[in-house]
Chains A and B, each alone.
Chain A
Amino acid sequence: MSEAERRRNPEPAFVVRGLCKTYATEAGAVQALRGVDLEIERGETLVLLGPSGSGKSTLLNILGGLDTASSGSARFHDFELNGATPARLTQYRRRSVGFIFQFFNLVPSLTARENVALITEIAENPMSPEEALAMVGLSDRMDHFPAQLSGGQQQRVAVARAIAKRPELLLCDEPTGSLDSESGVQVLEAIAEVAKDVNATTVIVSHNTGIAAMADRVIRFRDGRITDITTNPHKIAPREMSW
């Protein structure tokens, strides 16, 4: 994101302050997040990197309203996620968040078009399923069931499903984790393009450091803390990446 763009969006979309998360396990309490501070701008693309158990997925879950923090604050515009009721969080996910999962999570009994329609039916200002699928290059596969699509195609349907509601926030959890390199690039390409089209803030969690090249900022995690935030001066398009 350029300085000019940053100036156009003076208010950050997300403000995270002192966020902690502790899980109680049989072996005792596990601190997954130990005081995370972060501001995320509208339209920005963030890539969260770190080893397993470093806290990146926990942060993603809290940002997505799937999990609640033990302490601290996570504010999306005026909406404080921490302490919100389950019903409010459901509303938040429905209105503002698009999710992309590692294992696609498509409904096998619905066609590509119907999987997208599943979301457009409950969204406030969605694009049509056809439009969303066209954006990910699947106009010719709209009436296929998931079992009739390749892994990359299934994930692109999932991308279309995520952006069809024009979300402000697009959360991607290991979106290429189940795909080969070529399909992975295609999916990232789709994510980058459609996120730009709907001006979505994109947060991508990955083990794959190669993905960092497409980010505005790269945030590294270790032991529940942010260890490093790097601004990427020369972000590149996914089609130029390989791993």
Chain B
Amino acid sequence: MRPSPLDRKLARDLWRMRWQVLAIALLIACGVSVAVMSFSAMRALTQAQEAFYRDTRFADVFAQAKRAPISRVRDLAKIEGVTAVDATILQSGLMDVPGLSRPAIARVISLPDDPDRCLNCIRMVRGRMPDPGRTDEAVALDAFLNAAHVRLGDRLSATIGGRSVSFTIVGAAMSPEYVYVPAPESFMPDDAHQAVLWAPRPAVERAGGMSGAFNSVALALAPGASAASVMRDVDRLLAPYGGRLAYARKDQPSHAFLTAELKELSTSAAILPPIFLIVAAALVHLVVTRLVDAEREQIGLLKAFGYRDREAASNYLRLAAAIGAVGALGGGLVGAGLGAAIVDLYREYFRFPDLRVEFSWAAFAGATVVSVAAALAGSLAAVRRAVALSPAVAMQPPRPQAFHRGWLDLVLRGSSVDQSTRMIFRNLERFPARGLLTGVGLASSLALLVGTQFLFDSLDLVIERSYFRIQRWSDAVSFVEPRAVDAVAGVGREPGVFAAEPIRVVAARLKSGARQETTRIIGLDPASTLHRPLDGLDRPVPLVGRGLVLSEALAARLGLKPGEGVWTEVIDGRAPRALLPVTGLARDYAGFAAYMDRRELNRLMGEGDVVSGAELLVAPDERTAFYRGIEATPQIIGASSRDDTVASWRQVMAESFLVTLTFYLGFAGAIAFGVAYNMCRISLLERGRDLATLRVLGFGRAACAYILAGELAILALAAIPVGVLGGYGLAHGLVAAYSRDDVRMPAVIEPGSYGVAIGAYLIAVALAGVLVVRRIWGFDLVAVLKTRE
């Protein structure tokens, strides 16, 4: 079938306007690519997660105890709604890994006697399972082996429960409990120092003196069973055995992190694409309106020839739809690439046996429909105008565009403003809607730039405050059990330690009215210098009497203010309860902490002067000797290093945030460029004849460029304060949207970031301006003499 003349006109219009079409399609492509990338990545993660959880029978409820007899497993299995119980032994300690400066935290978990009835089963990746008859073989987490450069056949030694044990690593495995392995003091991954091992039960029993007992239990629930009620029963059954609070799958650290990542993806998919599509629709509106105005004679001619209104106007609808379709197609392709790239990035953090790139056809189809609809919506007003044109009116040339004196003339009255500048202002005044749309589009791009810069600033602030002002220690160690305060002095005598302060941490449930939160109470000495709660102005918050200092986020959750009382149920030890006054609020950024005077906490616990760990300043050049010393100390089960933690934050920032920011920079640049380019092109179309006339009359190119670019420059500058304010609002919105229980990002934007954002914005606008303005150099001055408007 031969294309109709109207089809050919459409094709030629698209080709003639290709740069404008592409600039708008670029915006649509940005929106579609974010949607496709996010949904594709979500689909990949969700599918990998579901398959892995199903294959490995990931549990629904988890609980720990100190030492429960294996006979209690039967009671746990009888709880209503429980379909399977898997009781294991989990022993922690420090492990010396050759090649690592700092000891790794070792978790040795007993393998199930019957592999067919396990929950949280491991999936072998390489090697073999340990020989059940041997107590010196273990399988290790694949991520740890890779990060710590441990090979199968290597022998690793750990100090567990005061005893030194050694294992030969015979296999590498993945586990649904350790898909993502955050370091204990941060939520950043630290695979090399998280040594998770699985060994036959007798080996772990022997290491921890746990014969006939378990200290960790996982439960699977029947569909529809109440996790809350099961957890209550589990707590009740395990309480006599030092049972800690049972928690549901949603609070399992690895799962919680994965859930947070999925939430971030869906937030990105919800926030960004609409911004792009709205701006694109506005640009379609401007471009098609201008086109209809320019082609009124042609439209009239078509109608005079007998084309129906619908037919004469349909080309503009089809043009808009084509812009939407081109953008969606480009966005689909880019989105597929980005989706694959982000899934590659996820493979670094999320250890699934089968994380495959999944292109989300549904997201692509949905985004395409929405993109085309947005473009069509943008063109509607102009199309309506084309439909309304009568053939007779359309055949007459338009009179010069009607201008009037407006408020700007009142402002400019008496001033010596030149005529070129007057032209710029009159045009702005004559087309307020266009100026507004352009200004809003430009402001939104700047807002996106400013509002996303905060990621870096915010993390810098979090690191600075968390690791250099609130906590000022370089290393921290934790003990297996609370120990007498003298133990701190013992650690203080290790090589390189020049300051050591005690810390006592207990788990507790805080209640206020109907609200309750489970948290850690951190007991510090009031004179402590290495760790002190700070308020929002960086002033230390004193620990007074039996009072609790709550983190602001925790107080907000509980609806508490200083001076009020909070019911405190300690979960550790003899589980005392007390109504404690809130004496102050501290600002922190991760977790929910409550601070208390350590001696008062010990008094509440009914214990002597004990500590659960020590916070230290260690001379950097003696750290190796220090670590060797604590590895040999049987009572120490955990060691954290601020430098390592900060380094892992920085690494994640460099890898993932930089990628994110680059995307945002590109996206925002695309908006600024697309808006500025189209605005300037339309201006050139409308005023090309005026400008060429001025050239004939003796105006230089620069003078014409001033008139053409002046309007854009004014709008771009006017959009800066709006964009900066919008960016500030966006940062707060993003903080709210991305905020999670484990991390609270403050919405801070440093002056330098404003500079970077405004600089990038101005470059994008200037580039668009230059691309259009350079057309002045190619004006055909002869043609203008013969051209009717």
B73 interface residue per 8 A CB criterion: no
Chain B residues with Cβ below 8 Å from A143 are 405
Q: Within 8 Å of chain B (Cβ to Cβ): is A17?
A: no
Task: Give the complex CA separation of A118 and B418 in angstroms.
Answer: 8
Assembly CA distance A202 to B789 (angstroms): 26
Of A87, A115, A122, chain B has the most CB atoms within 10 Å of the CB of: A122
The segment from A34-42, A61-69, A185-193 found at the interface with B is A61-69
With both chains docked as a complex, state the minimum distance between the C-beta of B279 and any C-beta of chain A, in angstroms: 27
Would you call A109 and B401 a contact (CB within 8 A)?
A: yes
CB distance from A131 to the nearest CB of B (A): 17
Cβ of A95 within 8 Å of any chain B Cβ, yes or no, is yes
Docked CA distance A107–B689 (Å)? 9
- Answer yes or no: B225 CB below 8 A from chain A CBs: no
Query: Among the listed A105, A108, A114, A117, which residue makes an inter-chain contact with B784, where contact means beta carbons less than 8 Å apart?
Result: A105
A101 touching B418 by the CB < 8 A rule?
no
Residues of chain A contacted by B700 (CB below 8 angstroms): 87, 90
Q: Which residues of A contact B693 (CB under 8 A)?
A: 101, 105, 107
The 8 Å CB contact of B423, one of A66, A67, A107, A145, is A107
- Knowing A66-B781, A109-B430, A147-B399, the reply to whether A121 touches B786 (Cβ < 8 A) is no
Q: Which chain A residues numbered 109 to 144 have a C-beta less than 8 Å away from chain B?
A: 109-111, 114-115, 117-119, 121-123, 143
Inter-chain contact A108/B698, CB cutoff 8 Å: no
Expressed in whole angstroms, the minimum distance between the Cβ of A32 and any Cβ of chain B is 11
**A99 with B419: in contact, given A66-B782, A146-B400, A147-B402 (CB under 8 Å)?**
no
Residues on B with beta carbons closer than 8 Å to the beta carbon of A67: 781-782
Set A61, A94, A114, A117: member contacting B698, Cβ < 8 A: A94
A26 → B minimal CB distance (Å): 17
Distance of A239 Cα from B676 Cα, bound (Å) = 51
Smallest CB gap from A107: residue in B: B690
- Residues of chain B lying within 8 A (CB to CB) of residue A102: 785-786
Are B400's CB and A105's CB within 8 A?
Answer: no
Give chain B interface residues in 683-723, CB to chain A under 8 Å: 689-690, 693-700, 703
A95 nearest in chain B by CB position: B698
Is A97 in contact with chain B by the CB < 8 A criterion?
yes
A residues 54-110 touching B (CB-CB < 8 Å): 57, 61, 64, 66-67, 87, 90-91, 93-95, 97, 99, 101-103, 105-110
Contact A122 B401 (CB under 8 A): no
Residues B699 and A122 in contact, CB atoms below 8 Å apart: yes
* Complex: A140 Cα to B781 Cα, angstroms: 32
Q: Could you say which residues of chain A place their CB within 8 Å of the CB of B401?
A: 108-109, 147
Among B690, B693, B788, find the residue whose CB has the most chain A CB atoms closer than 10 A.
B693
**Closest Cβ neighbor of A116 among chain B residues:** B419
Asked whether, in the complex, the Cβ of A145 is within 8 Å of the Cβ of B402, the reply is yes
**A110 and B782: CB pair below 8 A?**
no
| Interface size class, chain A | 35 or more
Q: In the complex, A71→B784 CA distance in Å?
A: 24
Nearest B residue to A104 via CB reads: B400
Chain A residues, Cβ within 8 Å of B698: 90-91, 93-95, 97, 119, 122-123
Answer whether residue B404 sits at the interface, using C-beta atoms and an 8 A cutoff. Answer: yes
Residues of B within 8 A of A87 (CB): 700
Known: A93-B698, A94-B698. A147 touches B418 (CB 8 A): no
Would A103 and B426 be within 8 Å (CB), given that A66-B782, A147-B401 are in contact? no
**Alpha-carbon gap, A99 to B403, bound state (A):** 24
B669 to chain A, nearest CB (A): 31
| Contact partners of B400 in chain A: CB under 8 A | 106, 108, 145-147, 154
CB-nearest residue of chain B to A114: B419
> Does A173 sit at the interface, judged by CB under 8 A?
yes
- How far does the alpha carbon of A92 sit from the alpha carbon of B26 in the complex, in Å? 44
Q: B403, A109: Cβ atoms under 8 Å?
A: yes
* Neighbouring A residues of B784 by C-beta, 8 Å: 101, 105
Find out whether the CB atom of A118 lies under 8 angstroms from the CB atom of B694: yes
A61, B697: Cβ atoms under 8 Å? no
B787 touches A (CB below 8 Å): yes
Interface set, chain B 352-410, CB cutoff 8 A to A: 399-405
Provide the residues of chain B in CB contact with A109, threshold 8 Å: 401, 403, 422-423, 426-427, 430
Residues of B within 8 A of A101 (CB): 693, 784-785
With A and B bound together, what is the CA distance between A67 and B427 in angstroms?
Answer: 31
Residues of B within 8 A of A99 (CB): 696-697, 785
Q: Which residue of B lies closest to A99 (CB)?
A: B696
Q: How far is the CA of A147 from the CA of B697 in the complex (A)?
A: 21
Closest chain A residue to B692, Cβ basis:
A105
Query: Which A residues lie within 8 Å of B699 (CB)?
Result: 90, 94, 122
Min distance, Cβ A167 to any Cβ of chain B, angstroms:
10
Min C-beta distance of B414 to chain A, whole Å: 15
Could you tell me the distance between the alpha carbons of A161 and B609 in the complex, rounded to whole angstroms?
Answer: 98
- Cα(A145)–Cα(B781), bound, Å: 24
Select B403's contact among A61, A66, A108, A122, beta carbons within 8 Å. A108
Task: List chain A residues, Cβ under 8 A from B427.
Answer: 109
Taken together as a complex, chains A and B put the C-alpha atoms of A109 and B403 apart, in Å, by 5
B427: nearest residue on chain A (CB-CB)? Answer: A109
Give the interface centre of B693, B697, B784 by most chain A CB atoms within 10 Å: B697
Q: Which residues does chain B contribute within 8 Å of A91, judged by CB atoms? A: 698
Contact A90 B695 (CB under 8 A): yes
The chain A residue with its CB closest to the CB of B419 is: A118
Q: Which residues of B contact A178 (CB under 8 A)?
A: 788
Interface core residue of A61, A95, A118, A119 (most chain B CB under 10 Å):
A118
Would A110 and B402 count as touching, CB distance under 8 A?
no
Q: In the assembled complex, how far is the CB of residue A61 from the closest CB belonging to chain B, in whole angstroms?
A: 5
Contact A110 B404 (CB under 8 A): no
Bound CA span A106–B420, Å: 13
Complex CA distance for A108 and B430, rounded to whole angstroms: 11
**In angstroms, how far is the closest chain B Cβ from the Cβ of A52?**
11
Asked if A173 and B402 sit within 8 Å, CB to CB, the answer is no
Within 8 A of A (CB), among B739-754: none
A/B interface sample: 12 pairs, CB < 8 A: A64-B696, A93-B698, A94-B699, A99-B696, A101-B784, A103-B787, A108-B401, A108-B402, A109-B403, A109-B422, A121-B418, A161-B697
Task: Rank and list the top 7 A-B pairs by shortest CB-CB distance, nearest first.
Answer: A94-B698, A109-B426, A108-B400, A147-B402, A105-B693, A118-B419, A93-B698
Given contact pairs A66-B696, A147-B402, enumerate 16 new A-B contacts (beta carbons under 8 Å).
Answer: A64-B696, A87-B700, A93-B696, A95-B698, A105-B690, A105-B785, A107-B423, A107-B693, A108-B401, A109-B426, A109-B427, A111-B405, A119-B698, A122-B699, A147-B400, A173-B786
- B residues bordering A, Cβ < 8 Å? 399-405, 418-420, 422-423, 426-427, 430, 689-690, 693-700, 703, 781-782, 784-789
